[in-house]
Structure formats: structure tokens, C-alpha cells
């Protein structure tokens, strides 16, 4: 049964967690149910993502979104406030049809996603259900709480290049519940902070996703910092808490070489892949995100053949939550996991389809926030609804991050004995 028709659709220029403009959107259904959402935005964005619509010009450094707001209140509202009942898939398909361009460039992916998200929240309220139940892909299965990948040290575009790689994250592989997972990571953050000024105090403001930037350092220095923090917390590195690394290799590319600026070195693709692979011998790394450039399909395939049985090779910029790029990667045997970011593709339906296609091909899935995120918690519900198995939100600091963690803690508490947790990396 479809939700009631849309009765009203409004938008406004809101703020993300960096203080940059973004699109806020609210939907009112004909039965009075309402939903709202604020669209996140990334700093480390790949070249194949759907296109935000920004104003340009001098105002707000060109990053204003009044044009995207006009897309919502003008063309989208004119077509969607029409008395027609639509479910999520039909709504998202209609918006793609209205836009008519690759990457939603005409109306703006930020405008379209705002409507898509707000409608999902309103539809769940109309049905009298939490979003994680209303959007569940397997309603007969017990809800699955995801394994969190949590930022501890940040660099790259998230922390002004303090270290060339973007993030080192803690993965609580020994946890048997979501609450225990958060507790273990909290201890690691404290242990890392106690190890020196690089990690900062646990509550201090850090990089864009809340991780602390170290002093200018080699990637290995950042890895060693977190391994020492695990030990200082009285935990076993690898057995209790492992590491994930977001390399964000696109940011390191200088022509056809990978620049290690803190070390004054530049490596060709083969040498860099060898260096990354060597981390697996020396550190308890269980997940590598974007270790190579987004268009180096051959390099990705070679690296997957080389180390894919040992580590999760997670494609973010590589796949850009794009179904065509995912099909290319599956055919090439590139990567073995997909980072899913709804704003990379522009609608919830497309993000869900990428998630399910990846899972069907045996790829792991990680639902992810953005560095410019918001206080909304819908991502937490979707991780449960879509059974992604893993979630990457940022650190255990800053309210736009803790909103998601707190929502998952709430869902687990409300489910009680019905809750299931994605133990281990595989979920």
C-alpha cells in the first residue's frame, strides 16, 4: 500500500556540521504525517558522484543552495503535489525523470535527496512505524545492528593534511552488541588520547568527522598511534579491536604518482600498492578504503587478487554509490566491499539498489555519513533497515556523529532480545 499523496513540499537553506549551506526539506502528506531531513555534504568527493546544485558567485563563497531550494519549491513541488499516491521507488523515479540529466545536475542531487529523505520519514510516520521497520528490506528477519567503524585519527581533507591518509578507524571486532562496540571504541579513544598530544583529549574538536589530527606524520605513525591506544586501553590489537584505514588515495595523486608529502616521497602506483599491502603484515588492519585512485580499475583488480582474501577492500570514490560503476567493479573483480553514501547517487532507492546488488554479488556493504553531516539520525535507521552489516559515521564526538550512534543504541535497547548484532567484520 502506497503512502498518502504529498500535500505540501517546502525547502530552506540549512547548515551542515561545517557551517556550510545545505538543503533542508519537509514533506507533509495528505493524512497529516510530516517528515523532514537536512542533506549531508562531503569534503572528500569523488569525480563520479551525483552533482549538488550550488549558487556560485560571491555569496557564502559560492556555496549557497538557494537554486536547489528553488528546485524543490518550484519544479519538484509543482510535479509532486498533485494528489497522486506514490511509494518511495515511484517518487524517486519520478524525480529522476523530471531532472533528466546524468548525476541529477539540473535540479541538483541535494534537492532531490532532500525530498527523497523527507518523504521516507513522512511515510514511516504515516504507517505508524519507525523508519528502520518501515524501510526494512527483510521484514520477517530480526533487525540487524551494524558493526561500527569509528574514526580515531583524521588526516587528509578531514584535517588539513595532518597525515596524508584520511582516517584511521577502530573496529570493535570482539563486541557482541552495539552497546559493547561503542564502549570498546570509547576506551580506545581514551587510550589514544592519553598517548600524546596528537590524539587530543577525548572530547576535543578534531577533523571533519570528529577524529583527532596527529602532528604531521607518516601513515605508519598514525597506525602505530592507534595500536598503542588499544594497548593502553587494556585491549588486544586485532583480537578485541582492529584497524580500518580510509586512504582516500585520490587526494594523494599528483599526476600518476602518490605523494607522501609529510615524508617528501612520491611513489608510482605499483610501489604505492606494495606499501599499502605491507601494512597488513605489520598492523591489525581489517579494512582498507580507497587505497588506489578512483579510475585505476587495473590496479584495484590486481590489489584485490593480491590481498582481497586478507582484508576488506572498500570502494568509496571507486564506486560512488553508482550502479554502473558497481557492475564494472564486480565484472573486473575489483574490491570486495562497497561504501554506500545516499548523497553520492541522489535518492534512497538508488542507494538501496546499490546496497542490494553489492550484497548479491558477495560484496560487503558499509553505510556512511559525510564529513559535512547533520543532526539527523535517519542513516542509523537505514543501516538497520537495509541490513548493511557495517556503518561509518565518524568519531564518538560532535552531535552530528553522536546522533547516529545514540539512535542505534536506542534501537538496540528498544528491540531488547529481538536485536541482532553484526558480530565480526563480516556481519
Which domains, from first to last, does the chain contain?
6-128 (3.30.390.10), 144-421 (3.20.20.120)
Q: Three-state SS string across 177-189, please?
A: CHHHHHHHHHHHH
Average pLDDT (342-356) is 97
Concatenate the DSSP letters of all residues of 134-151 into one string.
HT-S-TTSPPEEPEEEEE
pLDDT at position 172: 97
- pLDDT of the residue at 209: 53
pLDDT value at 336 more than 90: yes
CA–CA separation, 92 vs 94, rounded Å? 5
Q: For residue 157, is pLDDT > 70?
A: no
Q: What pLDDT is stored for residue 244 in this prediction?
A: 98
Please give the backbone phi and psi of residue 207, each rounded to the nearest 5 degrees, phi first. Answer: -70, -175
pLDDT at 387 over 80: yes
Predicted confidence (pLDDT) at residue 30 exceeds the cutoff of 80 = yes
Block residue for cell numbers 530552506: 12
Dihedral sign for Cα 278, 279, 280, 282, please: positive
Query: Which tens digit of pLDDT belongs to each residue from 99-126?
Result: 999 999 999 999 999 999 999 999 999 9
Q: Using CA atoms, how far apart are residues 342 and 111, in angstroms rounded to an integer?
A: 13
Average pLDDT of span 320-341: 97
351 Cβ contact partners less than 8 Å away, ≥ 6 residues apart:
321, 340, 341, 342, 344, 345
Q: What share of the chain in percent tops pLDDT 90?
A: 85
Which of 88-97, 148-157, 206-215, 276-285 is the least confident region? 206-215
Task: Quote the pTM value.
Answer: 0.93
Per-residue model confidence (pLDDT) at position 201 = 39
pLDDT over threshold 80, residue 155:
no
| Dist CA 304 CA 46 (whole Å) | 20
The pLDDT value recorded for residue 176 is: 96
Q: To which residue does cell 521484514 refer?
A: 139
Mean pLDDT of the 366-371 span: 95
| Average pLDDT taken over every residue of the chain | 92
Helix (H, G, I), strand (E, B) or coil at 173: coil
What are residue 418's phi and psi, to 5 degrees? -80, -10
Kindly tell me if the per-residue pLDDT of 156 is higher than 70. no
Give the tens place of pLDDT for each residue, 403-418.
999 999 999 999 999 9
Average pLDDT for 372-376:
96
Residue 239: the pLDDT is: 96
pLDDT the model gives residue 10? 98
141 has pLDDT over 60: yes
More confident residue, 216 or 308: 308
Least confident of 56-65, 107-116, 205-214: 205-214
Bigger pLDDT: 199 vs 269: 269
Q: pLDDT-based confidence at 44, cuts 50/70/90?
A: low
Q: 1: pLDDT confidence band, cut at 50, 70 and 90? A: confident
Cell of 380: 542509523
pLDDT of 154 reads 86
CA-angle at 167, arms to 166 and 173, nearest 5°: 150
CA 60 from chain center: how many Å? 26
Q: What number is the average pLDDT over the span 70-85? A: 97
Q: Check residue 261 and give its pLDDT.
A: 85
pLDDT of residue 342: 96
Per-residue pLDDT, 262:
80
- Among 144-148, 210-214, 247-251, the least confident range: 210-214
pLDDT band at 238 (very low <50, low <70, confident <90, very high): very high
Lowest mean pLDDT among 157-166, 229-238, 381-390: 157-166
Which tops the pLDDT comparison, 116 or 208? 116
Sheet-wide strand order for 253-254: 253-254, 257-260, 265-268
Nearest-angstrom CA–CA distance, 143 and 414: 11
User: What is the helix (H) or strand (E) element at residue 258, kind and residue range?
Assistant: strand 257-260
As a whole number, mean pLDDT of residues 158-168 equals 73
pLDDT at 199: 46
In this structure, are residues 76 and 95 in contact, taking their beta carbons and an 8 Å threshold?
yes
Res 158: pLDDT:
44
CA atoms of 329 and 336, how far apart (whole Å): 9
CA–CA separation, 284 vs 241, rounded Å? 9
- Any idea which of 21-30, 200-209, 326-335 has the lowest mean pLDDT? 200-209
Average of per-residue pLDDT across 238-245:
97
Amino acid at each position: 500500500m502506497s503512502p498518502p499523496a504529498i500535500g505540501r513540499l517546502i525547502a530552506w537553506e540549512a547548515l551542515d556540521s561545517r557551517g556550510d549551506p545545505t538543503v533542508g526539506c519537509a514533506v507533509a502528506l495528505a493524512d497529516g504525517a510530516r517528515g523532514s531531513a537536512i542533506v549531508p555534504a562531503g569534503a572528500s568527493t569523488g569525480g563520479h558522484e551525483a552533482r549538488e546544485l550550488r549558487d556560485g558567485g560571491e555569496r557564502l563563497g559560492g556555496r549557497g543552495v538557494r537554486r536547489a531550494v528553488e528546485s524543490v519549491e518550484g519544479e519538484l513541488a509543482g510535479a509532486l503535489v498533485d494528489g497522486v499516491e506514490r511509494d518511495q521507488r515511484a517518487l524517486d523515479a519520478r524525480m529522476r525523470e523530471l531532472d533528466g540529466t546524468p548525476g541529477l545536475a539540473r535540479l541538483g542531487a541535494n534537492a532531490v535527496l532532500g525530498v527523497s529523505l523527507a518523504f521516507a520519514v513522512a511515510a514511516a510516520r504515516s504507517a505508524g512505524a519507525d523508519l528502520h521497520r518501515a524501510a526494512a528490506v527483510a521484514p520477517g528477519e530480526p533487525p540487524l545492528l551494524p558493526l561500527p567503524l569509528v574514526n580515531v585519527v583524521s588526516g587528509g581533507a578531514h584535517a588539513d593534511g595532518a597525515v596524508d591518509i584520511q582516517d584511521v578507524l577502530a573496529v570493535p571486532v570482539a563486541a557482541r552488541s552495539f552497546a559493547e562496540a561503542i564502549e570498546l571504541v570509547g576506551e580506545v579513544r581514551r587510550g589514544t588520547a592519553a598517548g600524546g598530544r596528537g590524539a587530543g583529549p577525548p572530547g576535543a574538536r578534531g577533523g571533519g568527522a570528529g577524529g583527532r589530527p596527529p602532528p604531521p606524520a607518516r601513515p605508519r605513525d598514525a597506525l602505530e598511534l592507534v595500536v598503542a591506544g588499544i594497548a593502553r586501553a587494556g585491549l588486544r590489537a586485532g583480537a578485541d579491536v582492529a584497524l580500518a584505514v580510509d586512504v582516500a588515495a585520490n587526494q594523494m595523486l599528483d599526476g600518476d604518482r602518490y605523494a607522501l608529502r609529510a615524508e617528501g616521497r612520491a611513489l608510482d602506483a605499483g610501489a604505492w600498492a606494495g606499501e599499502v599491502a605491507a601494512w597488513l603484515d605489520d598492523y591489525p588492519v581489517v579494512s582498507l578504503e580507497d587505497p588506489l585512485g578512483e579510475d585505476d580499475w587495473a590496479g584495484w583488480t590486481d590489489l584485490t587478487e593480491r590481498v582481497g582474501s586478507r582484508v576488506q577492500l572498500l570502494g568509496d570514490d571507486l564506486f560512488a554509490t553508482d550502479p554502473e560503476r558497481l557492475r564494472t567493479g564486480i565484472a573486473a573483480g575489483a574490491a570486495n566491499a562497497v561504501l554506500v553514501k545516499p548523497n553520492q547517487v541522489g535518492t534512497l532507492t538508488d542507494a538501496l539498489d546499490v546496497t542490494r546488488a553489492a550484497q548479491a554479488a558477495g560484496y560487503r556493504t558499509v553505510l556512511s555519513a559525510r564529513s559535512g553531516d547533520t543532526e539527523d539520525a535517519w542513516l542509523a535507521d537505514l543501516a538497520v533497515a537495509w541490513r548493511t552489516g557495517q556503518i561509518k559515521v565518524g568519531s564518538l564526538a560532535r552531535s552530528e556523529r553522536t546522533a547516529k550512534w545514540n539512535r542505534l543504541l536506542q534501537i538496540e535497547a528498544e528491540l531488547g532480545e529481538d536485536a541482532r548484532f553484526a558480530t565480526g567484520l563480516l556481519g
